[in-house]
Chains A and B, each alone.
Chain A
Amino acid sequence: MKANRAVTPYLFLGPALLVFGFAVVLPVAMTAVYSLTDWNGYGSMTFVGLDNYVKALGDSLFRDSFAHVIAYIAATLVLEVVIGLCLAGLVSARRRGSLWFRVAIFTPVMLPMVVVAILWAFVYNADFGLLNAALEAAGLQNLQKVWLGDPSTALLAISVTSGWVYAGFYMTIFYAAFNQIPSEVVEAARLDGAGEWQIFRRIKVPMIRSAVTVAVLLCVTGGFQGFDLFYVMTNGGPYGATEIPTTYLVKSVFTFGNVGYGSAMAVLLTAVVVVVGLILARFNRQRPEGARS
C-alpha cells in the first residue's frame, strides 16, 4: 500500500508534465541548441558556436527592430495603461451604474487580434478609411495621411490600434483594484475638501500601486511579444518602419530558412522578456506592505 501511495502524486502530475515538457520545455532547449548552429531546417546542421549571436548584435535590422518595439511599448504604456487608469478613475468617480460603459470599452478585448487588425487597416485606409473621412468631415483635410503606408505614422497607427483593444482591459483591472479601496478613506478625503482629481491622484492611484505594476509588467512583456497586429497590418513595412523582433525572426526562420540565426534572435528576445519580467515582478514584491493589491 505504502509503495503504491508514493507513486500516486506522479500519476496525477504526469500527464500535465508530459504535455508541458513535450511542447514547451523540450523545444526551449532545442531552440537554444539551434541558436548555436547554421541550419536551414532540413539539411545538415553545422555547429558555429556563438556566431549567430555576434551576427544578431551587429545586425542593424535586428537592432532597429528593438528600437521599434521599445517605441511601441512606450506608446502603449500611455495609450493602454495611462488611459486605462484615467478611464477607471472616471468610472469609479461616478457613484452609480456604469456597466454599459465598461461593456463598450471592454468589447474589443474579446475580439481576435486578426479581426481587430483587418478592421483597423480599413479605418486607416487612405481611400475610404474612417479616420481620413472623419478628418475631412472636421475640415482637417491637410492632416489626412496614408497612415499605414507612411513610415512616420505606421508604428503609431499600430500602437493606437493596440490601445483601442487594451485600454479597456487595463481599465477593468484598475477598476477592480479601485473597488477594493475602503470607501472611508475616500470619504474622509472628500470631507477634508479634496477634489476628485486630488483624490484620484493622491489617494486612489497610490493605493493601487500593485495593480499598476502588474499592468506595466503585462504591457511591457506583452509588447515585446506583439505580433498579430504587426503581421496583418504592415508585416514590418513600410520600408521596415514597423519591423519588430518577432516579425523579423519569423521572416528569418519561415521565409528565408535561417533557423539557426532566427533561433539566436529568439533566445535574445526571450532573455530580454524574462529579465525585464523578473525585474518588474521583483519591484512589485519589494513594495512596502500596507499598500493594498
Chain B
Amino acid sequence: MSTASARPRAGRLLGLLTTLALIIIAVVFFFPMVWMVLSSFKTNSDIFSAPFALPTSIDFARWGEAWEVGHIGQYALNSVIVTGASVFAILLLGAAAAFAFSRYRFRGRQLFMGLLALGLLLPLQSYFIAQSTMFTDLAITDTRLALIIPYTAMGLPLAVYLLKVYLDSLPDELFEAARIDGAGDLRVFWLLALPLLRPGLATVAIFSALACWNEFLLALLYIQDDSLKTIPTGLLAFSSRYVTDYGLLFSALSIVTLPMIVIYVVFNKQIIEGITAGSMK
C-alpha cells in the first residue's frame, strides 16, 4: 500500500468521523425541540410514563386549543405590531441620523456620535428603573408605546453606526451630482440615500426585529394588561395559568417555535449576515 493512497484514505476516514460527530451533535441540539413537538401530541400520563415514545396519534386539536385558550393569536398580533412599529422607527430615524453624521459637518457632531456610541455599551440596567418611573408618571405603561419607544431607542445606536458605515462607503460624487441637479436635502435623502442603503437597512431590520420579538424584561415590567402582552410575557402568563397541563404547554411552545424555524430555514443567509453584523459592533 503506497503512502499516496493511504493519505486520502485516512482523510476520508477523518471526514467520515467528522460527519458522524456533526450528526450526533445536531441530534443532541435538536432533540429538546423534537421532544417538545412530540410531547405536544401526548396526554399528561403519556408524557410521564413514556417520555421517548412516539405519540399514539398526531392530533392538532391540542394546538388549536392552546391557540384559543392561550390567547396566542392575540400575543402574536401584539408582537407583530410592536416589532413592526419599532423596526420601522429604527430604520427611518436611524437612516436619517446616519445621513446627518455621514453627509454633514456640524457643531456637536462628535458629541452626538459619542453619545450614541455609548448606547452600544450601556446595559439595560443602567436606565430601566428610571424609565419605568417615567413611563408610570406619563401614564404610558400598559400601552404599546411603552414598548415601542424603548425598543426604538435601544435599536438606534447600532442601526446608526452600521448605516453610517454604509453611507461613508458611497462615493461623494453621487451626492454632488444630485445636488448639482438641484435636488434638495430631503430629496437626496429620500430618493438617493435610502434606496442605496437598502442592503444595510435589511441587515438592521433583521437583527432589530429579532431583538424586539424576543425582548422580555421591559415587556414584563411595562405591560400588565393581558390583551397587550407580547409573545414572551404572554407565554409566561399562559404557563403559569396552565402549570400542570403539559400537553397544552408543549403545544403552545411548539406553535411559537415552528414559525421561527421555518423563517430561519428560508432566510438563513440574510439572518446569519444580520446577526453577525449586529454582533460585530
Q: B-contacting residues of A (Cβ < 8 Å)?
A: 5-6, 8-10, 12-13, 15-17, 19-20, 22-31, 34, 41, 87, 90-91, 93-95, 98-115, 118-120, 122-123, 127-130, 133, 137, 164, 168-169, 172-173, 176, 196, 214, 218, 221, 224-225, 227-228, 231-232, 245-246, 249-250, 253-254, 259, 262-263, 266-267, 269-270, 273-274, 277-278
Q: State whether the Cβ of B261 lies closer than 8 Å to any Cβ in chain A.
A: yes
Closest 3 CB pairs of A and B: A30-B130, A23-B153, A9-B104
| A248 CB to nearest chain B CB (Å) | 11
| Residue in chain A with minimal CB distance to B93 | A16
Given contacts A31-B126, A90-B21, A133-B52, 15 further A-B contacts (CB under 8 A): A6-B106, A8-B100, A8-B185, A9-B104, A20-B119, A23-B127, A23-B153, A104-B30, A107-B30, A110-B271, A114-B231, A115-B232, A122-B250, A228-B216, A245-B125
Sample (13) of A-B pairs whose CB atoms are under 8 Å apart: A8-B104, A12-B104, A13-B112, A15-B97, A17-B112, A25-B115, A90-B21, A112-B216, A127-B48, A228-B217, A249-B129, A254-B221, A270-B125
Known contacts A9-B104, A227-B217, A228-B217, A20 near B126 by CB under 8 Å: no
Known contacts A91-B22, A130-B35, A17 near B236 by CB under 8 Å: no
Say yes or no: A196 contacts B14, CB within 8 Å: yes
Chain B residues whose C-beta falls within 8 Å of the C-beta of A262 in the assembled complex: 129
Q: How large is the interface on B (under 10, 10 to 19, 20 to 34, 35 or more residues)?
A: 35 or more
Say yes or no: A107 contacts B33, CB within 8 Å: yes
Say yes or no: A266 contacts B97, CB within 8 Å: no
Chain A residues whose C-beta falls within 8 Å of the C-beta of B260 in the assembled complex: 107, 110-111
Say yes or no: A104 contacts B29, CB within 8 Å: yes
Q: State whether the Cβ of B248 lies closer than 8 Å to any Cβ in chain A.
A: no
Chain A residues whose C-beta falls within 8 Å of the C-beta of B217 in the assembled complex: 227-228, 231, 250
Stretch at the interface among B63-71, B168-176, B273-281: B273-281
Say yes or no: B275 contacts A109, CB within 8 Å: yes
Say yes or no: A105 contacts B15, CB within 8 Å: no
B residues 120-171 near A (Cβ < 8 Å) are 121-134, 149-150, 152-154, 156-157, 160
Known contacts A8-B185, A110-B264, A274 near B22 by CB under 8 Å: no
Say yes or no: B256 contacts A176, CB within 8 Å: no
Chain B residues whose C-beta falls within 8 Å of the C-beta of A250 in the assembled complex: 217
**B interface, by DSSP: helix, strand, loop or mixed?**
helix
Known contacts A10-B106, A94-B18, A172 near B130 by CB under 8 Å: no
Say yes or no: B134 contacts A26, CB within 8 Å: yes
Say yes or no: A263 contacts B96, CB within 8 Å: no
Say yes or no: A114 contacts B106, CB within 8 Å: no
Known contacts A20-B153, A24-B154, A101-B26, A274 near B32 by CB under 8 Å: no
A253 to B231: give the CA distance in the assembly, Å. Answer: 24
A229 to B149: give the CA distance in the assembly, Å. Answer: 24
Q: State whether the Cβ of B25 lies closer than 8 Å to any Cβ in chain A.
A: yes
| A291 CB to nearest chain B CB (Å) | 16
B residues 25-40 near A (Cβ < 8 Å) are 25-26, 29-33, 35-36, 39
A7 to B248: give the CA distance in the assembly, Å. Answer: 58
Chain B residues whose C-beta falls within 8 Å of the C-beta of A127 in the assembled complex: 48
Q: State whether the Cβ of B201 lies closer than 8 Å to any Cβ in chain A.
A: no
Say yes or no: B124 contacts A17, CB within 8 Å: no
Chain B residues whose C-beta falls within 8 Å of the C-beta of A10 in the assembled complex: 100, 106
| Residue in chain B with minimal CB distance to A83 | B25
Q: State whether the Cβ of B210 lies closer than 8 Å to any Cβ in chain A.
A: yes
Say yes or no: B235 contacts A12, CB within 8 Å: no
